[in-house]
Chains A and B, each alone.
Chain A
Amino acid sequence: MMAGALAGLAALGLAACNGDAGETGNGNGASAGNGDGLVRFNPDPYPSTYTPFPSEVVLIQGATVFDGIGGEFENYDVLMQDGRIASIGEGLEAPEGATIIDGRGRYVTPGVIDIHSHLGVYPSPGVSAHNDGNEITSPVTAEVWAEHGVWPQDPGFDAALAGGVTTLHVLPGSANLFGGRGVTLRNVPSRTVQGMKFPDAPYTLKMACGENPKRVYGGQGRAPGSRMGNMAGYREAWQRAVEYRRSWQRYWDAGDADATPPTRNLELDTLMGVLEGEILIQMHCYRADEMALVLDMAREFDYRITTFHHAVEAYKIGDLLAEDDVCAAVWADWGGFKMEAYDSINENLALVHAAGACAMIHSDDQLGIQRLNQEVAKALAAGRRLGIEVTDGEAVAWFTSNPARGLGIFDETGSLEAGKRADVVLWSAHPFSSYAVADHVYIDGALMFDRDDPERRTVRDFTLGQPGEGVL
């Protein structure tokens, strides 16, 4: 039955074509394509249908430009063409027909990227019917995908756009040890979530440390009820994934079309994808000691952690994070709401950066996502007061290129480099000012938000005809 259904998928031509996938035991099941009659799985059954909105040739002239990878340039120009960054530099020539924007006195950064959002899965209004971010029915639900819960009509997307957010990563919540897959979205209006999916962005897997899983399940008298139980739960699942992967590997290696394939398991598909290095771990962990244990666990089962999220105590282990090349995604000043957030300090981001580890800001919040530039400013100012020298340009990376790296999409976005997607924010003032607002937000070179043009603003279906229609 299962094999038949899968064969049906392949027959419909839905399987992605990746010829050598079979040899590498590709992720959650390899694709067809080599005609050997072996059962393989489509790793991308809900593919991105995103297409950029219409764009023009745009030249922003005479602005202060942060390139997102450390640079700050005064009186600089940014040229966008065919949806890509054509060049940045001094006194660029305007191609014929270019729209010219006066950037004097204003600032340009790459589009803001939030690596930790629940927009769409915990949308506005936050009524019980909209609780689609946590599959709180079992501590291991690696089989659920955030994209299957995203409501593209969440008005929060528009508010985030007004705050300069061009790309966001939507994660399942943290009730479970393995919460499920995250999805990286372009912040564009769409009827379908597929229409928002960032083309070819890697899948991610949300895992959660600490108090949330043990509270949720311990409160029901089930495992995990303690941090010990959390670790046991992860390890048990990883061991199953190792064995699952081995059985598929053996089946594919044997190359016997008559052999019975292993039984497919959607939960273990995702974990196998992590072991193959194709699905990136986004790990919710607050405490330094827990992060260190999780780093050991990654060594035990031979996988990589991309980023620790909510890493409130990352500043205590900046050296360990740098050594293992693991990023920390942190808040500027959230804390106090539970014991594992008790040691929250404003200097966290700057301290982790100073230790040589990759650090970034994140929101986890539908209001915070609207001003990640200000969140970075607070963290930067606190760090400087402690004597940590960080340039404004380096700090801009905390809301642009570093989250792009954490999501595996830095080749495409996160910096203003020729050839990259033209994801650009034109700010009214220095982005580290309370008073700065986004004047223009471009996604793939298309002007998606213009503060002076309410007509361009998206009104999501939910707010249509409501008292709040069209307001942000």
Chain B
Amino acid sequence: MLKSMISAAALAAISLGTASAQTIAVTNGRVVTNSDAGIVESGSVLIQDGFIVAAGANIAIPAGVDTIDANGGWITPGIFHPHTQLGLIEVGLESTTSDVSAPGASFTAAIDVADGFNPSGGHIPDSRRRGITRFAVFPSTARGVIGGRGALANSSGRPDSLFDDRTFLYIDLSQSGAQTAGGSRNAAWAYLRAAFEDARFYPGRFMSHHEGDAINRFDAASLVSAVRGEIPIALQVERASDIRRALRFAQQHPSARFILVGAAESWMVADEIAAAGIPVIIDPLRNLPASFDVLAARLDAPARLHAAGVQTAYTTISADLYFNPRLITQHAGNAVANGASWEDAFRAITLTPAEIHGVGERYGALAEGYAGDVVVWDGDPLEVMSAPVAVIIDGENQSLVSRQSRLAERYAEQVPNGHYGYRH
């Protein structure tokens, strides 16, 4: 049954249509809904035309639909990684394979990752096979503190997998941002304030002379949407004092919206962040004073943020953002090992990231009306030994094959002293 469905899904992928008009039932598993229904010990999920129509216990499964038997495993929403560079880099040290930043470029806010994003990026299939169905795509900064605009994608590999672009603006005001601003945080903030003013008074300011104080006309036109709060600013800050500075800046610019990224010392100012209603994307594994920016990094920071009521999602910045976003479930598991509740930690890699990126009503939960992004696991998804046995995106069953899985299978049967090393 499963097998026939996989080939059907493969055919559907070739047709490049929108989500196929089929019905899939995922049955007989522990259903984590991320909704008021909570965790249903034995239940099913029904997906029709790409959307979830029912999830929970005692769901009526229409006769004759394609069914995936979870076999007592776990059925969850797809993992939503809020902070990746998937589809932008193939090999970190080969600059020709990377579109995350452009040290020689003259643009900042005008940069749009959608232009460089490759849905067939080499590391997307392995992220998919680990249960990541949705992810945010971030640029890096190179010159000036503004990296450009990010986008949201699914991991299907389909040409239309980038489903929303220009959804946030990435700005770096950590110590690395200070370096791109010329060498100090003071300069970085001055640059940002000037860029904000340029954008606020765009286009008037650019009428008489071509350039703004900090940015050019084209960048200002792009920065406007962030200044007005139409899209949030994903602001990388780590140090508690920088976070406080950011909170003050947010207060001074009430129309703009912010997401704090990195935020290693955010636990020290958790109450202030919660009061400001600003979400945080943090890596649960950072716990060393790796720089003077993160002297107070600690493993129970996520637990402390949750306890303070901060809207908190997790990232894999310590592992990297292009090859190992797939480790996000391990990162969440370690948050649990260090005091976070399982529910908070799981939400921090599913529904909360979707909410932070403004799509929490479409992704991250198993409830009626949500996109049909479902993962079936052979165990607790936050356990390092667990893995997906089925991944469904927009109601379509996905391939769990990647270049890595092909290599592993190729060499699984060694032929000693053979020409190839594997059976050829």
Contact = CB atoms under 8 A, between A and B. Distances in A.
Contact of B404 (A124, A344, A437): A344
B408 A382 contact: yes
Interface in B55-103: 89-94
B184 interface: no
B414 to A, nearest CB: 6
B387 A468 contact: no
Contact of B290 (A125, A381, A434): A125
B123 A386 contact: no
Contacts of B383: 433-435
Contacts of B338: 437
A346 B387 CA distance: 12
B320 interface: yes
A354 B411 CA distance: 11
A417 interface: no
B322 A374 contact: no
A335 interface: yes
A377 B91 contact: no
Interface in B28-75: none
Interface stretch (A134-142, A167-175, A313-321): A313-321
A191 interface: no
Contact of A126 (B290, B296, B411): B290
A315 B90 CA distance: 22
Given A433-B383, A435-B336, A336 B411 contact: no
A468 B383 CA distance: 28
Interface string A438-472: 00000000000000000000000011001110011
A315 B411 contact: yes
Most buried by B among A317, A345, A385, A437: A345
A338 B288 contact: no
B187 interface: no
Interface string B284-307: 011111111001111100000000
Contact of A367 (B265, B288, B382): B288
Given A155-B288, A432-B385, A472 B299 contact: yes
A333 B289 CA distance: 24
B324 interface: yes
A161 B422 CA distance: 40
Given A339-B94, A355-B414, A468 B295 contact: yes
A339 B91 CA distance: 6
Given A366-B288, A377-B385, A319 B416 contact: yes
Interface in B340-393: 382-387
B384 A377 contact: yes
A280 to B, nearest CB: 27
Interface string B399-413: 000001101110110
B337 A435 contact: yes
Interface string A103-147: 000000000000000000000111100000000000000000000
A436 B320 CA distance: 24
A295 to B, nearest CB: 14
Nearest to A376: B384
Contacts of A366: 288, 290
Contacts of A346: 404, 408
A156 interface: yes
B322 A336 contact: yes
Given A367-B286, A471-B298, A125 B324 contact: no
A72 B407 CA distance: 32
Interface string A325-350: 00000000111111100111111000
Interface string A288-303: 1000000000000000
Interface residues of B, number: 54
A378 B385 contact: yes
Contacts of B417: 319
Interface residues of A, number: 58
B410 to A, nearest CB: 9
Interface string A399-435: 0000000000000000000000000000000001111
A425 B171 CA distance: 43
A62 B35 CA distance: 41
A387 interface: yes
B290 A124 contact: yes
A125 B297 CA distance: 12
A159 interface: yes
Most buried by A among B89, B92, B123, B287: B287
Contacts of B412: 347, 351, 386-388
A388 B409 CA distance: 11
B182 interface: no
Contact of B92 (A336, A344, A436, A462): A336
B240 interface: yes
A330 B381 CA distance: 24
Most buried by A among B289, B318, B386: B289
Interface stretch (B10-18, B219-227, B326-334): B326-334
B289 A462 contact: yes
A211 interface: yes
Most buried by A among B93, B122, B299, B336: B93
A209 interface: no
Most buried by A among B240, B324, B409, B414: B414
B117 interface: no
A81 B192 CA distance: 63
A321 to B, nearest CB: 11
Nearest to B322: A336
Given A333-B327, A345-B408, A380-B385, A468 B296 contact: yes
Interface string A352-382: 0011000000000011001100100110111
Contacts of B159: none
A435 B323 contact: no
B291 A127 contact: yes
Contacts of A472: 287, 298-299
A125 B291 contact: yes
Nearest to A466: B295
A374 B384 contact: yes
A378 B292 contact: no
B292 A125 contact: yes
Contact of B123 (A316, A336, A371, A433): A336
Most buried by B among A288, A318, A367, A471: A471
B325 to A, nearest CB: 11
A318 B417 CA distance: 10
Contacts of A125: 289-292, 295
A343 B322 CA distance: 15
A317 B288 contact: no
Nearest to B411: A315
Contact of A351 (B298, B324, B411): B411
Contacts of A354: 414
B374 to A, nearest CB: 20
Contacts of A159: 287-288
B421 interface: yes
B404 A436 contact: no
A30 to B, nearest CB: 41
Contacts of A434: 330, 333-334, 336-337, 382-384
30 contacts: A125-B290, A159-B287, A316-B421, A317-B421, A318-B414, A334-B323, A334-B324, A336-B92, A337-B92, A338-B92, A347-B412, A351-B408, A366-B290, A367-B286, A367-B287, A374-B334, A381-B387, A388-B412, A432-B385, A433-B384, A433-B385, A434-B330, A434-B384, A435-B383, A437-B338, A463-B295, A467-B268, A467-B296, A471-B297, A471-B298
Which 10 pairs of residues, A with B, have the shortest CB-CB distance? A434-B333, A336-B323, A467-B296, A381-B385, A337-B92, A471-B298, A468-B296, A338-B93, A347-B408, A319-B416
Given A125-B292, A126-B290, A370-B287, 18 more contacts: A126-B291, A318-B414, A319-B414, A319-B421, A336-B92, A337-B320, A339-B94, A344-B323, A367-B287, A378-B330, A381-B386, A432-B385, A433-B385, A434-B384, A435-B336, A437-B337, A463-B295, A467-B295
